[in-house]
Amino acid sequence: MKYLVFCFVTTTYVSVAQVSDSLLFEVYFKKSEQFKHQAEKLDSAFYWADLMLKKAETPYQVALANYAKGEVIASNHWTYNTGEYAFEYYVKAINGFIQTKQRERLHHSLNALALSYERLYNPNNQFYSSKSLLYTAMAFRLQHDYRYEVPLPFTATIDDKPATAREIREAIKVTKDNIAFWETGNSPPHIMWRKHTLGKLYWELDKNMSNAETYFVQSAAIAQQINDQFFYSICIGSLSVYHNQAQDYPKAILYSERGLQHATQTLKMDFREAIFRDQLYIAYKATGQMDKAIFNKEKALVIAERVYRESEAKGVSLMKERNAALQKQMTLEHQVNEQQRLQLWYFLGGFILVLLSAYFFYNNYQLRQTNRAISAALLEGQTTERQRLAADLHDNLGSTLSALHWSMEAINPQKLSPQEQRVYRHVQATITQAHDQVRLLSHNLLPDELQKQGLWKALQHLTDKLNRNTPLRWSLTPPDNPPRFDAKTEFELYSIVLELTNNILKHAQATEGRVECRVLNGECRVTVSDNGVGMAEKRVNGKGMQSVESRVRSLNGTLSITSQVGHGTTFEVVIDSQS
């Protein structure tokens, strides 16, 4: 009897689980789509896309999971600086959708791959447009030519070998056919985008702006009619960029000035203003109008500096978001525990002892798994957030500052006035200092040594970098035969030491700092001290110390502070080294 009941429960659970997993997979995709355009929700978008990759079983699910991952990366390309990182996922998705005959998904994947080429960084004012335009034409053809099939296997590379004239003419024909298709359907947004694509195709065909300019202007006119101000700015930007490439600098200046006025007065978007000022810099420099060229380049640099400051503020906002998410996770954990208690009461009554016993055993097992998963998720969430912030600082700001440095190198300081040379040297020094600070901060957030070699190597690298980059003299005393702790404990201890050393640098006015670690009689003691001005009060209410206290509590440890005005401060953290 017990065996039969157990088999019934197990079989029913497996069949329900299979249906549930299939439905959940679509839910995961909706979640990744929901968060992919929200910079502050980047971790959530990546979580759901990565979960899809783990759960995917059928060819269609594998293709959809790869498309979701590519979309999250490409939609938040400010984190990665280029579209290259999404290529492999889009290619896998395209091949999967070809095999499963998902034409609509295939259309979106080809469009997304084409857009990724336009995100590739190129300092020479050139577009990676050949492959982008051909893939766009393939996506268009899927819409109106139902006999068309994309051949297998589909491949894509980042080298931009120019398309042949025959390929471009075929793409022009496909795009015109698609415009006719959407004119029948009376869809101005689709027509607008395709006319803009035609303009780029005609430029690629013969590098002549006569036809290209006509379609860019028509696309801009439709954008104004449907009040799509952002796409209007893109059209004017194309006219500005391509006229500069054609060396028709008077027209480049004309469209750049028009785009600049639109960006500042209508869109009010800094990054669009910076694009048009950079184009003005190119055109004015080419025509010998160096005063105007330098003026616009300086304005663009000011915008870049403002973006840098706003990015710092964004980092603070993201940290607040993370803390709120952790608090929500703790609330959910409490709710799970409450549900467990209620379920125990529900399961006390009943008349089928075997079924109740089996369900009770299974329910407790699931709750234990959930509690372990929640604990792992907390650590994973913190690790992911630090990795994202480190990547954001290094890849986005670091690359931006490097690009600014090379832009400055293009200016010949010998042709500047003495006052302009002082401004030039000041800007170069500021960019170099900011780049060094970004590299130090991004590495300290989550160093590779912590994950690969453990806490003690990470602390050694931290003190070495502090000695190289700060005026304080730091020393580290690790324990004899340093032990390895679990990933959560090492992560929290490193974060505590990082926050305390940061407080010393900001507030202590010290000349020396010390980090000491001792493991004895089942206890681990981590001491961070300085010889600075000390504190009048031993309890500090700042966000940093609140974070330290929260991390110590999560390890079931204690924090003590010893300080005397004029004689430095000592922070001591004690945890159970055997837990």
Which range has the worst mean pLDDT, 179-193, 263-277, 369-383? 369-383
Mean pLDDT confidence for 232-256: 93
User: Over 261-289, what HEC string results?
Assistant: HHHHHHHCCHHHHHHHHHHHHHHHHHCCC
Name, in order, each residue with C-beta under 8 angstroms of 508's C-beta and a sequence gap of 6 or more: 530, 532, 533, 568, 569
Give the model's pLDDT for residue 558.
92
Average pLDDT over residues 134-155: 88
Q: What is the pLDDT of residues 359-401, one digit of tens each?
A: 666 666 676 666 556 555 555 555 555 555 555 554 455 556 6
Residue 543 has pLDDT above 80, yes or no: no
Q: Does residue 264 register a pLDDT over 70?
A: yes
Q: What's the token pair of residue 203?
A: 């430029």
Please work out, in degrees rounded to the nearest 5, the angle formed at the alpha carbon of residue 310 by the alpha carbons of 307 and 314.
130
End-to-end CA distance of the chain, in Å? 43
pLDDT at 85: 67
**pLDDT confidence bin for 537, thresholds 50/70/90:** low
504 and 472 Cβ atoms separated by less than 8 Å: yes
pLDDT at 437 over 80: no
- Better-scored residue on pLDDT, 401 or 517: 517
Residue 283 has pLDDT above 90, yes or no: yes
Measured at the CA of 172, the angle between CA 166 and CA 173, to 5 degrees, comes to 90
Residue pair 529/569 in contact by the 8 Å Cβ criterion? yes
Tell me the C-alpha distance between 82 and 118, whole Å. Answer: 9
pLDDT on residue 381: 56
Stretch 326-334: mean pLDDT: 60
Mean pLDDT, range 143-149, rounded to an integer: 88
The angle subtended at Cα 142 by Cα 138 and Cα 143, nearest 5°, is 125
Which of 40-44, 241-245, 393-397 has the weakest average pLDDT? 393-397
What number is the average pLDDT over the span 518-542?
Answer: 82
Q: Stretch 54-70: mean pLDDT, rounded?
A: 90
Model pLDDT for residues 116-144, shown as the tens digit of each residue? 776 554 444 445 556 778 888 888 888 88
Note every long-range contact of 295-298, with CB atoms under 8 Å and residues 24 or more positions apart, other chains counting: 297/407, 297/411, 298/423
Model confidence at 185, pLDDT cuts 50, 70, 90, reads confident
In terms of Cα–Cα distance, which of 443, 491, 440, 503 is closest to 468? Answer: 440
The CATH H-level (homologous superfamily) assignment of domain 452-579 is Histidine kinase-like ATPase, C-terminal domain (3.30.565.10)
pLDDT at position 156 is: 79
Q: b/e for 244-260, b at 16 or more Cβ within 10 A?
A: bbbebbebbbebbbbbb
Q: How confident is the model over 94-116, as a mean pLDDT?
A: 89
What mean pLDDT, rounded, does the chain reach?
77
Nearest alpha-carbon partner for 470 in 505, 516, 498, 426: 505
For 432-461, what is the mean pLDDT? 66
Alpha carbon distance 20, 25 (integer Å)? 9
Band of the pLDDT at 327, cuts 50, 70, 90? low
Average pLDDT over residues 43-52: 84
Which pTM was predicted?
0.48
Say whether pLDDT at 3 is over 50.
no
Element (H, E) at 290: helix 290-348
Q: Which among 185, 251, 260 is positioned nearest to 212, based on CA atoms?
A: 251
Query: Any idea where the domains of the chain sit in the sequence?
Result: 1-162, 325-446, 452-579
Tell how strand 523-530 and strand 512-520 pair up.
Answer: antiparallel
Q: What is the pLDDT of residue 88?
A: 84
For the chain, how big is the Rg over CA atoms in Å?
A: 30
For residue 508, count other CB atoms closer than 10 A to its CB.
22
Look at residue 322 in the predicted model and tell me its pLDDT: 45
Which pLDDT band holds residue 213 (cuts at 50, 70, 90)?
A: very high
> Of the spans 16-20, 71-75, 165-169, 406-410, which averages the highest pLDDT?
165-169
Say whether pLDDT at 551 is over 60. Answer: yes
Name the percent of the chain lying above pLDDT 90.
Answer: 26
Q: What is the DSSP string of 423-444?
A: HHHHHHHHHHHHHHHHHHHHHH
Higher pLDDT, 50 or 440: 50
Inform me whether the pLDDT recorded for 415 exceeds 50. Answer: yes
Is the pLDDT reported for residue 173 higher than 80? yes
The confidence score (pLDDT) of residue 11 equals 43
Whether the per-residue pLDDT at 449 is higher than 90: the answer is no
Q: Is the bond into 188 cis (omega within 30 degrees of 0)?
A: no
